[in-house]
Structure 1
Amino acid sequence: MGDDTAATTTATDDTEPKYVEFSEMGLDSRLLRAIDSCGWRSPTLIQERAIPLALEGNDILAKARTGTGKSAAFALPILHGLLAIKDGALASDDSARHVRALVLSPSKELCAQLTQHFRQLTAYCSREITVLDISTGRVDDLKGVMTAETPDVIVGTPSRVLLHIEAKHLPSLKRELRYLAIDESDLMFSYGYEQDLTRVLQSVPAIGCQSFLMSATLNPEVKALKKLCLHNPVILKLEEPELPESDKLLQYHIECHEEEEKFVLINSMFKLGLIRGKTIVFVSSVDRCYKLKLFLEQFGVRTCILNSELPIASRCHAVQQFNAGVYEIIIASDEKCCADASQRKSKKSHSKRRPDEEYGVSRGIDFQYVSNVINFDFPTTVQSYTHRVGRVARGDDSGEGTVLSLICPPEKDYFETVKASFGSGANFRPYQFRMEELEAFKYRSRDALRAVTTIAVREARIKEIKREILTSQTLKSYFEANPKDQKVLKHDRALHTVKHKQHLRDVPEYIVPPTLQSMVKSKKGSNKRLEEEASLSYTPKRKRRPKHVKNKKDRDSDPLKTFRFNARKRGKPKLKNRRK
């Protein structure tokens, strides 16, 4: 077993290895073609260090920041090894299929993402290597696929994999497994997988199985896993800051005197165009998601929600729509990281609603081209703040992003703890917002907020669940056999949704701060479009994902500006055009 004296590589070593391209690593040509199709120009730091070592057969324990390409760092060596096994089997006329790679992840969202990632990398060898996500669906329904069409790679949460092992769907796992990867391994125990993971590891080979532990931190849980499944591992502890560099990440905060001010601020920022680009808004619960969504809808600001109570397919669909540009704003509850693991385990929920225990959003999910993260509810731990911030300034995106935290007095201590943990290098800046210029927005927001009652939030949640039931492919055959049940759902009583008032969607000039008058006039067409799209019945037109902005001037611009700076910057081009 590995110990603490195992080899360690750091990114700041004087003897760091020479930079290598993917084509110089000795990867299979079919994988190189897939890499080229994905548009990866060069390996990230973790990929550059881990892949050559993994191809030599070493067990890997890697610590790297979220968004640095850890998935490909273990997926590419695994697929390269599987292709070598397949080619050898063809030469020896041994065509028997076995599950030879097992990938474990703490949440269903991450499992779906990893499966998609593997399928992208097997685009040119899909006949040779098959991948199956077993984190969802009924165990019995997957029996035929698991036994008759045995996949080469299976992806799942520890609890789901254990169910299949107990159902004897993986009879050759102990004998034939060659690769084991545990992604986001530092979250496994905090998600309650300690016993399940231990039992799964008892069903994998003790020797002859190469293992990967990928993590954002090296906490005691990871060290415990290291002893269970790694053999003399190479430890890649990349010496990089927990947050992106200050020139790539701008961190603002606004101190609010009361809860109502948060709603006033976020409404005015979206309506006045102070927040530009794709935005993730983090809140502390599902109820808060719907409260904020219903509030913003009244002003013509269209959003989507990540709801832990909906099926995994619906949650993944919301992420896909956000990534495709159908929605510019996504509101996500960060329930898993709102408290320490010990507090979560001891705390009993009195709610009748049962969210998915294998739901997670702040870690690992690949939100693409995110410009802003808004902490509407400030996280209670440094780790949660770090992983929320990891959604922006990612390696494959523009490399730049903005974080805005709205902080009420009860959250002040959490903010001070985060600020102290990162020191002066993190460059936290107060956002110079003129609250005295938002009196008109305050009156409007107060009326809109008053309409978002507890009943309205509950009814909105019921409406979405009802819609999911009616459109569920799983229940399609049931409704065909029981049309009366479907009719009852369709003609159920009317829900008490929030009434939208047209005047709230308009932004008359007299309520616009003087320093933003010129900018808002130029955005009238855009505001009208937002108003049209705000209704729940609106069906967006399919559009191509916008190409990545390559203009240096646009890339360096800050998507979050103060009143004075915004007005001055946007006013000058108009004068120049008039002179011409």
Structure 2
Amino acid sequence: MSFTTLGLSDALLKAISEKGYTTPSPIQQKAIPPILEGHDVLASAQTGTGKTAGFTLPLLHTLSENPKEKYRPIRALILTPTRELAAQVYDNVRAYSAHLNIRSAVIFGGVNQKPQATTIRRGVDVLVATPGRLLDLQRQGLVSLKRVEIFVLDEADRMLDMGFLRDIERVISIMPEKRQNLMFSATFSPEIKKLAHGILRHPVQVEATPENTTVDAISQKVYRVAKGLKAGLLTKLISDGKWKQVLVFTRTKHGANKLSEKLKKAGITSAAIHGNKSQGARTKALAGFKSGSVRVLVATDIAARGLDIPLLPHVINYELPNVSEDYVHRIGRTGRAGAQGEALSLVSADETTYLRDIEKLIGLKIPVSIEAGFEPDPNASTKPEKRQQGRRNPGKAKSENSAQKGNTDKSQARGRRTRNRRSNS
């Protein structure tokens, strides 16, 4: 099958060709036709399989086929959980609409709101947003969702993990009841299916691959190692392998900073990316990693969904996630678009339970190795450490640090400070 058989406009086909794509991925083949027909869609696919184009292309086709008045109200809203993912989706929207009379914008916290508000005021057809900044601007009267025709909830499971349920409900309450709804995610838990039942109307359900499976192109391996020897082993693997681009995951922000400094002292260029970093610092770190000036990017799970790095060869779990599904999303940063990738996990005794849960989730026994000089401690306890970053209460919405300026009443300011303290990791 080629993109020409899906019913997309010539302008979109031209943009697709310019990006070098010729054949739609399985999720695109299954999702695009029912979206073009106007159905609500519930879609599940592995990360890195083209979900973004799966909803972006038919969304742009529908809007361009039904142009509106010169004043441009927001006609499509794409809601994402993180700033990085919002920026990535926006880049896709902008690229695919290159030959269409479609305006788009992205808004998220951590940066000055004024340029975002100015762009929206000029008229925007497609808005990509994170929940916190969207609701902040809406409360100030700077964003109206009264004319939304298509609503996309991207990475819905991550939304709930991060505590955005109430924000999602608030966003839905200020949109028209009559609209097309699309829900895309890598995995679907019972909670997600319950949420979908409340949003989608007679949805077409599509699934490109079984839930919680990992891409075949990713080679997975576990290194059993003593907890205190992990940094040394990581340095050896990177140096001996002469790896030039490595994404490393830790469980905590402090751990990411600490590991990044250790790598720098070992002569390996590194940067950390997490929720306590300013948006400017996060953008700079990611740009350096993509350009090659930064060899290792150390990240918390905020990066597991929003990073799109072409041909990323190596992902390393310096610490296993205590939420098993996050393992799927972490390693899904490599092996994208059919490319080969390698995912290694450095597992100490106290992570044994996490490893067992992950293998149960993905239905795969991951091969184990032990590196000489970095052997595991036979006397170490296999009891997990106290969890520091597990699933959050989905009933407590958590917004990004919006870093706004301007006059607000005291209650709005207090609410914003509370949300900022709970900024994502």
Query: Quick check: 1:62–1:235 contact (8 Å CA) kept in 2?
Result: yes
The match for 2:410 is: none
Query: Quick check: 1:60–1:236 contact (8 Å CA) kept in 2?
Result: yes
**What is the Cα deviation at residue 431 of structure 1?**
2.1
Amino acid at match of 2:187: T
When the two structures are superposed, what TM-score results if normalisation uses the length of structure 1?
0.61
Q: Which structure is higher in helix share? A: 1
Q: Equivalents in 2 of 1:409, 1:70: separation in Å?
A: 36
1:392-415 C-alpha deviation (Å, 9 max, x unpaired): 11225x2x2222211111112211
Give the direction of change, closer, same or farther, for the CA distance of 1:298–1:95 in structure 2 (3 Å limit): closer
Secondary structure of the residue aligned to 1:188 is: helix
**What is the Cα deviation at residue 30 of structure 1?**
1.3
Query: Quick check: 2:245–2:296 contact (8 Å CA) kept in 1?
Result: yes
Amino acid at match of 1:36: S
The match for 1:167 is: 140
Secondary structure of the residue aligned to 1:99 is: coil
Secondary structure of the residue aligned to 1:106 is: coil
Query: Quick check: 2:86–2:306 contact (8 Å CA) kept in 1?
Result: no
Give the direction of change, closer, same or farther, for the CA distance of 1:313–1:123 in structure 2 (3 Å limit): farther
Query: Quick check: 1:278–1:369 contact (8 Å CA) kept in 2?
Result: no
Q: 2:284 aligns with which of 310, 317, 329?
A: 317
Q: Equivalents in 2 of 1:321, 1:300: separation in Å?
A: 16
Segments of 5+ residues of structure 1 without an aligned counterpart are: 1-19, 335-359, 438-473, 476-580
Segments of 5+ residues of structure 2 without an aligned counterpart are: 376-403, 406-425
1:506-521 map, 5 Å: none
The match for 1:252 is: 221
1:58-207 map, 5 Å: 58-86=39-67, 89=68, 94-125=69-100, 128-136=101-109, 137-139=111-113, 142-147=116-121, 149-171=122-144, 173-174=145-146, 176-207=147-178
Secondary structure of the residue aligned to 1:378 is: coil
The match for 1:395 is: 337
Q: Equivalents in 2 of 1:32, 1:183: separation in Å?
A: 23
**What is the Cα deviation at residue 330 of structure 1?**
1.1
Q: Pick which of 106-115 and 185-194 moved more.
A: 185-194
Q: 1:386 aligns with which of 313, 317, 328?
A: 328
Give the direction of change, closer, same or farther, for the CA distance of 1:140–1:299 in structure 2 (3 Å limit): closer
Amino acid at match of 2:350: P
Amino acid at match of 1:75: T
1:44 maps onto 2:25 in alignment: yes
Secondary structure of the residue aligned to 1:212 is: strand
Secondary structure of the residue aligned to 2:367 is: strand
The match for 1:280 is: 247
Amino acid at match of 1:195: R
The match for 1:21 is: 2
Give the direction of change, closer, same or farther, for the CA distance of 1:170–1:403 in structure 2 (3 Å limit): closer
The match for 2:391 is: none
Compare relative contact order (CA 8 Å, sep 6+) and give the higher one, 1 or 2: 2
Q: Equivalents in 1 of 2:115, 2:71: separation in Å?
A: 23
Query: Quick check: 2:327–2:358 contact (8 Å CA) kept in 1?
Result: yes
Query: Quick check: 1:66–1:364 contact (8 Å CA) kept in 2?
Result: no
1:102-160 C-alpha deviation (Å, 9 max, x unpaired): 110111111111111111111222xx21111121344455444323x111111111222
1:435 maps onto 2:373 in alignment: yes
**What is the Cα deviation at residue 281 of structure 1?**
1.0
**What is the Cα deviation at residue 277 of structure 1?**
4.7
Secondary structure of the residue aligned to 1:305 is: strand
1:236-279 C-alpha deviation (Å, 9 max, x unpaired): 13343633455x2222212223x2211221122223x2353521
The match for 1:328 is: 295
The match for 2:416 is: none
Q: Equivalents in 2 of 1:282, 1:104: separation in Å?
A: 25
**What is the Cα deviation at residue 24 of structure 1?**
1.6
The match for 1:229 is: 199
**What is the Cα deviation at residue 379 of structure 1?**
1.5
Secondary structure of the residue aligned to 1:395 is: helix
Query: Quick check: 1:323–1:369 contact (8 Å CA) kept in 2?
Result: no
The match for 1:548 is: none
Query: Quick check: 2:12–2:99 contact (8 Å CA) kept in 1?
Result: yes
**What is the Cα deviation at residue 72 of structure 1?**
0.7
Secondary structure of the residue aligned to 1:214 is: strand
Query: Quick check: 1:201–1:228 contact (8 Å CA) kept in 2?
Result: no
Secondary structure of the residue aligned to 1:280 is: strand
**What is the Cα deviation at residue 323 of structure 1?**
2.2
When the two structures are superposed, what TM-score results if normalisation uses the length of structure 2?
0.82
Q: 2:347 aligns with which of 407, 418, 427?
A: 407
Q: Equivalents in 1 of 2:374, 2:326: separation in Å?
A: 32
The match for 2:233 is: 265
> RMSD across aligned C-alpha pairs, in angstroms?
2.3
1:346-393 C-alpha deviation (Å, 9 max, x unpaired): xxxxxxxxxxxxxx2112421221111111112212112111111111
**What is the Cα deviation at residue 434 of structure 1?**
2.1
Amino acid at match of 2:220: Q
Q: Equivalents in 1 of 2:205, 2:89: separation in Å?
A: 22
Q: Equivalents in 1 of 2:337, 2:346: separation in Å?
A: 26
**What is the Cα deviation at residue 164 of structure 1?**
2.4
Give the direction of change, closer, same or farther, for the CA distance of 1:266–1:37 in structure 2 (3 Å limit): same
Query: Quick check: 1:63–1:217 contact (8 Å CA) kept in 2?
Result: yes
Q: Equivalents in 2 of 1:309, 1:394: separation in Å?
A: 28
The match for 2:304 is: 362
Q: Pick which of 176-185 and 138-147 moved more.
A: 138-147
The match for 2:389 is: none
Give the direction of change, closer, same or farther, for the CA distance of 1:293–1:166 in structure 2 (3 Å limit): closer
Q: Equivalents in 2 of 1:233, 1:63: separation in Å?
A: 13
Secondary structure of the residue aligned to 2:260 is: helix
Q: 1:238 aligns with which of 164, 183, 208?
A: 208
**Count of matched residue positions in the alignment of Structure 1 and Structure 2:** 376
Secondary structure of the residue aligned to 2:49 is: coil
Query: Quick check: 2:222–2:369 contact (8 Å CA) kept in 1?
Result: yes
Query: Quick check: 2:3–2:23 contact (8 Å CA) kept in 1?
Result: yes
Q: Equivalents in 1 of 2:259, 2:118: separation in Å?
A: 44
Query: Quick check: 2:45–2:211 contact (8 Å CA) kept in 1?
Result: no
1:276-309 C-alpha deviation (Å, 9 max, x unpaired): 3521111122222222222222221112221322
**What is the Cα deviation at residue 328 of structure 1?**
2.8
Q: 1:300 aligns with which of 253, 267, 286?
A: 267
Query: Quick check: 1:283–1:375 contact (8 Å CA) kept in 2?
Result: yes
Q: Equivalents in 1 of 2:287, 2:35: separation in Å?
A: 31
1:515-551 C-alpha deviation (Å, 9 max, x unpaired): xxxxxxxxxxxxxxxxxxxxxxxxxxxxxxxxxxxxx
**What is the Cα deviation at residue 436 of structure 1?**
7.8
Give the direction of change, closer, same or farther, for the CA distance of 1:102–1:298 in structure 2 (3 Å limit): same
Give the direction of change, closer, same or farther, for the CA distance of 1:436–1:326 in structure 2 (3 Å limit): closer
Q: Equivalents in 1 of 2:189, 2:45: separation in Å?
A: 13
Identity, % of aligned positions: 30
Q: Equivalents in 1 of 2:374, 2:327: separation in Å?
A: 29
